[in-house]
């Protein structure tokens, strides 16, 4: 900044001024997350904190500053904490939102009550949150400071520069109200329970869990969300803790069915000298529209089929891992290995399989295995997996060329000619030959 760099400069200009400049691409999503975190923290100073643009926070500290000993002390306290956290911030306190915004972006400070026009008069007109065109037009007229605008008659100003400038000026000077609205916090799906006496029995823990689940699911229902992961934390009296976490094969908010999935995890908990605190949260949630419930809840046979299947996939996924519960999805590639996708069943839904056409495909597919002692094209006899086969009938070849836009190591050997070979021994096999090298490989077996 000291050498003349400013925001909005092109990189080439900045490099020309400052050749040893360290640059990094902006990560807007992470910046927004950091700002949201900072906004939550700033809640310690004021009840109403909102974001102000992409790089600012605005807090309404009316009636708050005396708790910190005054406005000066409040600002010093804030600055000290920010410095300790390693954040370079500029802060300003003013009677209106517009004035605070302007001052914070031009050096910071405190404007005393009743002296707004003097306090921000020396600032350039760009501090008024006006757009670039207006600012340029003002500069052309020789109006560069806010104090130049204040004595001017309003009507010509509005006619020449638009209503926006007058509005911004009024807001900065307090003639127009501009409240600070706190943003709604995203709903937090967590509930807890503190027990007066420690508990140790499994049935007691499950009873506590059932109560917590009821509250959590009510909250989920209110926000029309369903849990994908549920985390159950237990605090022991010796300040140790145990955690049970389960995943769900599809978003769910049915307390009874979620409780059933916790049974195994709760069984393995070491309660030590007893558990006196329970905490249940849903770290991962998904939108889930309300559904019509048919029959009575908690009645065995009325649980619908999909729900029962989802329960099965949840319980299997929780033991062996959700990535091991899979589903086959069609893909458009002609390459046998990529003609279908293997997707985790919990995060995909079945897709209709397009009508097949062209040559038949085997029922099982495996990575290519070399075929030895192949004679001729197609081979009259060959050995595979230490078995000898004699060709009865060969159908082919079907030539498949590699997809050049993917670099697949298995297809580096170039195009392949696929043959279906019915053997005299019985098996109907799917072989291919790479014409460049005349090597035979086995890749599948027909019904």
Partner 1 sequence: MRPESVPGDPFSLLRKRVHEAEGRGRRAFALFQAARHPGPLVWILPSHAPEMPMLRGLPRGVGERLHLIRPVGETDLLWCVEEALRADPVSLVIAEPQKPLALTVGRRLQLAAEAGRTSGLMLIRQEAGSNATETRWNCEPLPATAADSTLQRWSLNKNKNGTLAHWTVNWNGTSAAFHMVSEARERHEPAEPPH
**Cα 58 from Cα 104, distance rounded (Å):** 10
In the complex, minimum distance from the CB of residue 400 to partner 1, in angstroms, rounded to a whole number: 13
Is residue 239 exposed (0-12), middle (13-18) or buried (19+ Cβ within 10 Å)? exposed
Q: Please state the separation of Cα 333 from the chain's center in Å.
A: 30
User: Which CB sits closer to partner 1, 43 or 427?
Assistant: 427
Q: Please state the separation of Cα 168 from the chain's center in Å.
A: 36
Tokens at residue 181, please?
A: 């609205």
Q: Which helix (H) or strand (E) holds 257?
A: helix 255-267
User: Which CB sits closer to partner 1, 72 or 392?
Assistant: 392
CA angle 378, 383, 386 (to 5 degrees): 160
The secondary structure of 113-156 as a DSSP string is TT-HHHHHHTSBGGGG---HHHHHHHHHTT--BHHHHTTS-HHH
User: Which CB sits closer to partner 1, 24 or 356?
Assistant: 356
Tokens at residue 363, please?
A: 């029922």
In the complex, minimum distance from the CB of residue 424 to partner 1, in angstroms, rounded to a whole number: 5
User: Which CB sits closer to partner 1, 147 or 326?
Assistant: 326
Q: Which of 385, 396, 387 is nearest to 422 (CA)?
A: 396
In the complex, minimum distance from the CB of residue 306 to partner 1, in angstroms, rounded to a whole number: 8
In the complex, minimum distance from the CB of residue 186 to partner 1, in angstroms, rounded to a whole number: 34
Question: Which residues of the chain form contacts with partner 1 (CB under 8 A)?
Answer: 305-306, 308-309, 311-313, 315-316, 319-320, 324-330, 336, 339-340, 342, 345, 350-353, 356, 360-367, 392-393, 422-428, 444-447
User: Which CB sits closer to partner 1, 1 or 320?
Assistant: 320
In the complex, minimum distance from the CB of residue 289 to partner 1, in angstroms, rounded to a whole number: 22
In the complex, minimum distance from the CB of residue 425 to partner 1, in angstroms, rounded to a whole number: 7
User: Which CB sits closer to partner 1, 108 or 362?
Assistant: 362
User: Which CB sits closer to partner 1, 154 or 324?
Assistant: 324
The conformation of residue 324, written as its DSSP 8-state character, comes to G
How would you classify the pairing of strands 92-93 and 109-110?
Answer: parallel
In the complex, minimum distance from the CB of residue 301 to partner 1, in angstroms, rounded to a whole number: 8
**Cα 372 from Cα 33, distance rounded (Å):** 60
CB 84, CB 77: distance < 8 Å: no
């Amino acid at each position: 900044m000291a050498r003349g760099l400013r925001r909005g400069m092109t990189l080439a200009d900045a490099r020309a001024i400052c050749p040893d400049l360290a640059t990094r691409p902006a990560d807007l999503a992470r910046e927004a997350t950091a700002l949201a975190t900072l906004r939550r923290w700033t809640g310690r100073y004021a009840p109403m904190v909102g974001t102000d643009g992409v790089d600012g926070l605005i807090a309404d500290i009316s009636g708050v500053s005396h708790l910190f000993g005054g406005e000066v002390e409040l600002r010093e306290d804030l600055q000290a904490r920010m410095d300790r956290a390693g954040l370079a911030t500029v802060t300003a306190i003013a009677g209106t939102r517009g004035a605070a915004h302007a001052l914070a972006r031009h050096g910071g400070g405190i404007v005393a009550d009743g002296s707004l026009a003097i306090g921000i008069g020396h600032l350039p007109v760009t501090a008024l949150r006006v757009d670039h065109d207006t600012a340029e037009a003002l500069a052309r007229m020789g109006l560069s400071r806010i104090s130049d605008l204040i004595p001017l008659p309003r009507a010509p100003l509005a006619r020449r520069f638009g209503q926006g400038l007058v509005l911004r000026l009024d807001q900065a000077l307090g003639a127009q109200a501009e409240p600070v609205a706190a943003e709604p916090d995203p709903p937090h799906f967590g509930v807890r329970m503190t027990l007066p006496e420690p508990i140790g029995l499994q049935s007691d823990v499950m009873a506590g869990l059932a109560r917590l689940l009821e509250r959590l699911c009510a909250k989920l229902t209110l926000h029309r969300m369903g849990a994908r992961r549920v985390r159950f934390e237990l605090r022991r009296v010796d300040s140790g803790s145990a955690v049970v976490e389960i995943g769900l094969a599809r978003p769910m908010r049915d307390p009874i069915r979620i409780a059933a999935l916790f049974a195994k995890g709760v069984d393995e908990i070491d309660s030590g000298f007893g558990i006196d605190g329970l905490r249940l949260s849903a770290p991962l949630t998904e939108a889930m529209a309300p559904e019509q419930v048919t029959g009575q809840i908690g009645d065995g046979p009325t649980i619908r089929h999909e729900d029962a299947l989802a329960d099965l996939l949840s319980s299997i996924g929780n033991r062996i891992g959700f990535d091991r519960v899979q589903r086959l999805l069609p893909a458009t590639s002609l390459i046998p290995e990529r003609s279908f996708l293997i997707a985790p069943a919990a995060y995909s839904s079945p897709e209709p399989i397009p009508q097949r056409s062209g040559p038949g495909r085997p029922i099982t597919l495996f990575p290519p295995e070399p075929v030895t002692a192949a004679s001729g094209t197609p081979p009259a006899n060959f050995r595979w997996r230490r078995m000898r086969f004699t060709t009865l009938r060969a159908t082919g070849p079907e030539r498949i060329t590699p997809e050049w836009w993917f670099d697949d190591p298995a297809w580096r050997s170039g195009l392949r000619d696929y043959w279906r070979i019915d053997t005299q021994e019985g098996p109907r096999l799917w072989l291919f030959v790479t014409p460049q090298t005349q090597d035979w490989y086995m890749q599948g077996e027909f019904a």
